Amino acid sequence: QRLFMGEEDTGLWKYGADPGARTERTSVDRTEGGNLTADVEGMSLWRGAGGTGYLVVSNQGEDDYAVYRREGTNEFVGKFHVVANEELGIDGASETDGLDVTSAALGPGLDHGLLVVQDGRNHMPESACNCAPTLITLVKVAG
């Protein structure tokens, strides 16, 4: 059992979450010399079989999302962006404060789950509320 924590200007940490675990934290990734940029924000676990899966982290300083293995040393897997496609009427996502992800099959087209991210800057359609969620199927991310 682990507890992951983002520290906006420093990076990503993990703590043991078992009752007998020590209180020392371990660095997973850093903003200086690492794969993150200052302003680390929301995170959530995509759960795979047998304790595997991914930790998805909002890397708000770069308007992208960093992905780490859930198991082992939490190896950095890569990053992705949610980009706009005006032709399809899809707004991108940026300035994300929070996100959530599920690996549950939610129906046709959502066999690998769903990622929901807060979009801090809506462009399509223009909106006075920069808080609309963006929904992303995980076929391309996890499949």
pLDDT digits (tens, 9 = 90+) for 94-140: 666 688 899 998 888 888 888 887 766 666 555 555 556 565 665 55
Residue 61 lies in a domain: yes
Q: Which uninterrupted H or E stretch holds 115?
A: strand 114-118
Q: Encoding tokens for residue 59?
A: 């890397």
In the predicted structure, residue 45 carries a pLDDT above the cut 90? yes
Q: What is the pTM of this model?
A: 0.83
Domain containing residue 98: CATH number: 2.40.10
Residue 88 lies in a domain: yes
Q: What pLDDT score was predicted for residue 98?
A: 81
Residue 64 lies in a domain: yes
In the predicted structure, residue 74 carries a pLDDT above the cut 70? yes
What domain count does the chain have? Answer: 1
Residue 133 lies in a domain: yes
Q: How far is CA 31 from the centre of its chain?
A: 16
The DSSP bridge partners found for residue 130 are none
Containing structural domain, residue 125: 38-142
Q: What pLDDT score was predicted for residue 110?
A: 84
